[in-house]
Amino acid sequence: MSKTRFIIIKEIRHILRDPRSLVIAIVMPILMTLLYGYAVNLDTKNIKLAVVDEDKSVHSRALVNSFFQSGYFIPSLSAPQINDLEGVLRAGHAHAVLVLRRGFSEAVRTQEPYQVGLVVDGSDANRAAAATNYSNVLLFDFIRRNVSAPTVRPWVWISPRVLYNPDLRSPDFFVPGLIAIILMMISALLTSITIVREKETGTMEQMMTAPVTPKQIIMGKAIPYIGIAFIDGLLVILFAVFHFRVPFEGSYLLLAFFGVIYVTAALSIGVVISTLVRSQLAAMMTALMVTVMPSVMLSGFIFEVKNMPLPLQYLSMIIPARHFIVILRGVMLKGVGAPALWRETLALVLLTSVLLGIAAKRFKLKLG
Amino acid sequence: MIQTILALIVKEFHQIRRDRFTLRLIFLAPIMQMMVLAYAISTDVKYVYTAVYDYDQRELSREFVRSMSVGNYFIPSQSPVPLLESEENLRTGDKNVNLIIPNDFSEGLRNSKPVMIGFVADGANANSASIATGYANLIAFQFSERLSRSAFPVVLRQRILYNPEGESVYHIVPGIVAVLLTMVTTLLTAMAIVRERERGTLEQLMVSPIPIPALILGKIIPFAALGYIEFSIALALGVAWFKIPFVGSWPLLYGLSLLFVLTTLGVGMLISTMTNTQQQAMFFTWFFTIYAILMSGFFIPIENMPFFVQKLTYLNPLRYFMIIVRGIMMKGAGLESLRTEVLALVIFAVSMFSFSWMRFQKRAK
């Protein structure tokens, strides 16, 4: 153990001697939290809508107003030509064009059939779907309020209630998940790079001739990074709670416990990568490909796993971040305890032990 | 001069080729990313698991539940727990929505009275919750219409241009092409220069009689070439595998890409002048890439962002390139519709490239 301590001290000196890297390792997570907290919002709004109003009546103006007051649409700055509605869409000046030909007001009064036109830029499928959905709802709503004797009766109403994040704030969803991403980045990426760097500069061989075991080398190199990872995790939580006002309903201790398991898994991946590659560039690209990218894209951090094709859903099961993110959101937003998270706990513990086993074996093999 | 540059380019390619593992990574990584991203990125809201509490249990209420399940937006099923514990459904994440149909549902409808249906959503995923509520509203509207056997006199007739099937792949894949070009050119340039600095070989090159401009060009031309090769592979995959309709002009796309590559090479060089170790270079590149991707409109629409964040996106070269790639590929946009974006990229390319060139030369002295 005491030998491990020396390597830890050596590694900490290495880190401290390069203050720029240390500052980056601390500042980066904060910047990332700010970026994700402010920028990531998948709730489609502010759809740029251009309007062609040939009816020019009280009713047509009221309908157009209700579109812009809904918060989903904003007026496009350029007016479309009636014979070239596509022009504004092609140039990206508008995402949709609402066309009210003559007779709208008449139709509202007499209940004659009438078609409100909507031309949508479909290149972003998600936004196009939102634009048509919102338009339908807004139009229904307008008719209900303005047609004197609506023919459609009776009514079924939906009375919606939202739990856990009633204001539907995006940061509450994205910032907890970010903790998993940052822990993975720091632990897997930094460990693999720092080990490979010793290989690249040839100091790894020197260390191996010294009377220390491979286990001690690895522990000594990994422990300082566990420290950095935890500082980073804590920073993100502080920012989440105090800056973005993300609720923390559950137990800090429970989260820290899961954090240790998760970081162990991440470090193991880092060690395995370091045994596979010879250059820092290769270590970094491998780490990005097998840890960071899947943790961001396949974990449910941004995109829901259940929407993916089945093979990807199965693949996501062996990604530690997928399970840890469920735990993070459960503990932070819903205040759930360990019993509700037994599936994720089981998966995480299983993954971690397998990864740790592989890492130990590979490293011994490499050195022996 | 030209011969010196050529010699340096050959040297760089030898170096790249000698590290087989890295070389394979350089080509494999983008293909894998393309395959995974294209399938994983989907912001459609589907498969909302819905726990049904039907206290009416008659033909009409069952009909309503059936109409909810059309189109796979909602997956309704009997709830496993009693109503009083229904929050547990959402807490554990087993269900996303609890749907509560009151026992006077059929009766109210028969007497032409408005009926309320309870809809309790898990808001942890804000986006899904609000879209699911929108869907539920639409389904209820349509159910009312069908029940009263009359339709609204005024209806919406929509026409969707460019991507009428609503495939999100068509939107995402051109985006991935742009993202890959950014990552490869910035990362490889920065790392290659800093690696030589870390090992001390950069100083050797600098004291040699090679003029600095030749040194820079010899260093970046190979990576520009690699970037172009990957860009082409990604485009080919997009067109051949994902069947993205390419309606615009290929020469225009490749020509405008050059402006963008000059910018990213400039960024790579700039990072290399600001850092001493590969670890630092990696952090800087990584941060630049995240900023560039998140703020480009790649999968998060810029209009959704707060106003001051929207302003930050104007400083992002990828934002403009993203519009150019998508515009040319999907809409067949020509130079005149892309005037603003091209102008912005010209400014970026010239300023970024010359600024980092100057910094590099200054640091070399």
Q: In the prediction, which pLDDT does B212 show? A: 83
What's the whole-number mean pLDDT along residues A309-328?
A: 91
- What DSSP designation does A96 have? E
Give the max Cα distance, chain A: 95
Identity of the residue in A92, A104, A168 whose CB atom sits nearest the CB atom of B327: A92
pLDDT in tens, B165-208: 666 778 888 888 999 899 889 988 998 888 888 888 888 888 88
Residue scoring higher pLDDT (A22 or A227):
A227
Say how many domains are in chain B.
2
B116: nearest CA in chain A? A157
Residue-number span of the structural domain to which B34 is assigned: 2-41+164-364
**B220 and B306 share one domain:** yes
For the cut 50, the answer to whether the pLDDT of residue A108 exceeds it is: yes
Mark yes or no for CB contact A330/B91 under 8 Å.
yes
Kindly tell me the burial class for residue A206, based on how many C-beta atoms sit within 10 Å of its own C-beta (0-12, 13-18, 19 or more). Answer: exposed
* Total residues belonging to chain B: 365
Q: In the prediction, which pLDDT does B270 show? A: 93
What's the whole-number mean pLDDT along residues B237-264?
A: 91
Cβ-based contacts under 8 A for chains A and B: 357
Tell whether B143 is covered by a domain.
yes
What's the whole-number mean pLDDT along residues B272-280?
A: 86
A153: nearest CA in chain B? B148
Tell whether B331 is covered by a domain.
yes
Q: In the prediction, which pLDDT does B244 show? A: 84
End-to-end CA distance of chain A: 21
Percentage of residues in chain A having pLDDT higher than 70: 92
Percentage of residues in chain B having pLDDT higher than 90: 18
Beta strands in chain A (DSSP E): 47-53, 73-75, 96-100, 114-121, 156-163
Tell whether B264 is covered by a domain.
yes
Tell whether A129 is covered by a domain.
yes
For the cut 80, the answer to whether the pLDDT of residue A194 exceeds it is: yes
With contacts defined as CB-CB under 8 Å, which chain A residues touch B45?
A: 304, 307
Kindly tell me the burial class for residue A366, based on how many C-beta atoms sit within 10 Å of its own C-beta (0-12, 13-18, 19 or more). Answer: middle
For the cut 50, the answer to whether the pLDDT of residue A41 exceeds it is: yes
Q: Which of B87, B115, B147 is the last residue of a domain?
A: B147
Q: How many CB atoms are closer than 10 A to CB A308? A: 21
What's the whole-number mean pLDDT along residues A302-314?
A: 84
What's the whole-number mean pLDDT along residues B212-233?
A: 88
**A181 and A330 share one domain:** yes
Q: Worst-scoring range by mean pLDDT, A157-161, A276-280, B212-216?
A: A157-161
User: What's the pLDDT band for A206 if we cut at 50, 70, 90?
Assistant: confident
Tell whether A156 is covered by a domain.
no
The Cα angle at residue A297 between residues A291 and A302, in degrees rounded to 5: 130
**A243 and A186 share one domain:** yes
**A110 and A236 share one domain:** no
Say how many domains are in chain A.
2
pLDDT in tens, B118-134: 888 887 776 677 778 87
Q: In the prediction, which pLDDT does A368 show? A: 46
Tell whether B189 is covered by a domain.
yes
**A109 and A219 share one domain:** no
Residue-number span of the structural domain to which A54 is assigned: 47-146
Q: In the prediction, which pLDDT does A319 show? A: 92
pLDDT in tens, A212-271: 777 787 788 888 888 888 899 999 999 889 988 888 988 999 999 999 999 999 999 998
With contacts defined as CB-CB under 8 Å, which chain A residues touch B47?
A: 306-307
Tell whether A153 is covered by a domain.
no
Q: In the prediction, which pLDDT does A174 show? A: 84
**B106 and B236 share one domain:** no
Q: Which positions 243-262 of A are in contact with B (Cβ < 8 Å)?
A: none
**A278 and A189 share one domain:** yes
Q: Are strands B97-101 and B115-122 parallel, antiparallel or unpaired?
A: antiparallel
What is the distance in angstroms between the Cα of A88 and the nearest Cα belonging to chain B?
9
- Half-sphere exposure in the Cβ direction for A71 (13 Å, CA): 3
Identity of the residue in A121, A170, A298 whose CB atom sits nearest the CB atom of B162: A121
**B84 and B207 share one domain:** no
Mark yes or no for CB contact B111/A154 under 8 Å.
yes
Q: Which positions 104-133 of A are in contact with B (Cβ < 8 Å)?
A: 104, 107-108, 111-130, 132-133
